[in-house]
């Protein structure tokens, strides 16, 4: 297949201005993207509509609509799935060139990194369970469809299979690698290990939401320790950081409530949704379902102090994760980095009665 070449206007790539963030940068300028991902394959994938859609998908999902960032400070700006994906791909590229991978292996690995989140829904994980329950779709299945070119008809413009095929990259190998199941390749561990390049970038990026300066080892430092099996304390420290990030942010009352609001809205209004909505950008989803985003914008105001007038206690179901070290396993080994899940009911001291009504009545 002949791929039609495109000349991209890189300065129009939907990225925020670059900001200093220590040795590992969490922000990207168009110029930096062009410099780092200098091969035609990478530029084709980054220029594809499927990839550019990620610029309009918030990194943490619904909670990003509750934290009211100003954007003026690095720790007060919203991040996107596009920025996260570029970070993961940069780690893959760093590994490739450090280990001297062949051109074919490098392109397979970096392609997998660039496409690992390509199927994320608008609001990221926050609405995924409802879509999976009613339409049998999650971001893993959606990613596979985009990579293979089998997405629903209304999402066919997100197809990246022709790009991969034109450069000799097999879509099924990309999917297997992203799942951590590509046999015969040493670099499979970059996706299969509990401390994989996806979680390395994601957890470190999330830390920037609540810390003005990064004190934990950056993703590239932890990756080097994992490759060389040196400075093992940095690997263990990262796993402890993951536990703190979940406890203080992702599983915080605000984070759990944000996900609950988004999930509850979709469940109550499921007849107004379709599988096509999973492949939209957040801007497109907002246009189709404006009341969902109105609920999110009001959600923080509805959490009020115990004993306040017009307040009702409420419990929401949640699945909490705890990440811990198995000290009996060797440092750096996959068995050392463990997690456990627990289903619980989280009680909130008070929620405004209007919010109770919003979350119990379908939008008309």
Q: 151: domain CATH number?
A: 1.10.3210.10
Q: Given a cut of 50, is residue 5 above it in pLDDT?
A: no
Residue 296, pLDDT score? 85
Q: Given a cut of 70, is residue 198 above it in pLDDT?
A: yes
pTM of the model: 0.88
Closest CA to 99 of 164, 217, 187: 187
- Position 242 in a domain: yes
Strand partners, 346: 316
- Position 1 in a domain: no
**Residues 46/192, Cβ–Cβ less than 8 Å:** no
How far apart CA 2 and CA 104 sit, in angstroms, is: 19
Give me the domain span that covers residue 218: 10-358
Closest CA to 300 of 353, 239, 355: 355
Choose the weakest-confidence range: 20-34, 64-78, 149-163, 293-307.
64-78
How far apart CA 253 and CA 239 sit, in angstroms, is: 22
Q: Given a cut of 90, is residue 78 above it in pLDDT?
A: no
- Position 5 in a domain: no
- Position 363 in a domain: no
- Let me know how many helices (H) and strands (E) the chain has, helices first: 17, 2
Closest CA to 347 of 300, 303, 314: 314
Q: Given a cut of 80, is residue 306 above it in pLDDT?
A: no
pLDDT tens-digit profile of 149-192? 999 888 888 999 999 999 999 999 999 999 999 999 999 999 99
**Residues 185/178, Cβ–Cβ less than 8 Å:** no
Residue 131, pLDDT score? 96
**Count of domains forming the chain:** 1
Residue 118, pLDDT score? 97
- Position 3 in a domain: no
């Amino acid at each position: 297949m002949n791929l039609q070449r495109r000349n991209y206007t890189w300065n129009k790539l939907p990225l925020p201005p670059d900001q200093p963030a220590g040795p590992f940068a969490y922000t990207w300028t168009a110029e930096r993207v062009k410099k780092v991902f200098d091969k035609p394959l990478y530029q084709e994938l980054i220029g594809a509509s499927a990839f550019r859609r990620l610029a309009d998908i918030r990194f943490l999902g619904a909670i990003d609509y509750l934290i009211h960032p100003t954007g003026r400070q690095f720790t007060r700006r919203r991040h996107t799935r596009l920025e996260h994906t570029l970070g993961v791909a940069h780690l893959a590229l760093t590994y490739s060139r450090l280990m001297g991978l062949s051109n074919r292996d490098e392109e397979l690995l970096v392609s997998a990194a660039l496409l690992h989140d390509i199927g994320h829904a608008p609001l990221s994980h926050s609405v995924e369970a409802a879509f999976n329950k009613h339409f049998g779709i999650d971001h893993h299945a959606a990613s596979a469809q985009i990579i293979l070119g089998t997405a629903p008809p209304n999402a066919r413009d997100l197809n990246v299979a022709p790009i991969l095929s034109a450069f000799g990259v097999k879509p099924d190998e990309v999917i297997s690698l992203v799942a951590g199941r590509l046999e015969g390749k040493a670099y499979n561990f970059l996706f299969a290990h509990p401390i994989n390049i996806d979680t390395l970038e994601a957890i470190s990026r999330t830390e920037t939401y609540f810390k003005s300066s990064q004190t934990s080892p950056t993703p590239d430092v932890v990756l080097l320790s994992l490759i060389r099996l040196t400075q093992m304390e940095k690997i263990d420290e990262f796993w402890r950081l993951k536990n703190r990030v979940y406890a203080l942010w992702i599983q915080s009352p605000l984070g759990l409530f944000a996900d609950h609001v988004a999930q509850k809205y979709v469940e109550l209004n499921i007849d107004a949704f379709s599988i096509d909505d999973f492949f939209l950008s957040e801007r497109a989803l907002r246009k189709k379902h404006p009341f969902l985003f109105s609920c999110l914008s009001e959600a923080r105001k509805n959490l009020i102090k115990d004993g306040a007038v017009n307040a009702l206690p409420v419990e929401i179901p949640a699945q909490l994760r705890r990440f811990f070290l198995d000290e009996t396993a060797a440092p750096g080994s996959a068995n050392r980095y463990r997690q456990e899940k627990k289903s619980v009911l989280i009680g909130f001291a008070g929620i405004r009665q209007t919010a109770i009504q919003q979350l119990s009545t379908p939008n008309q």
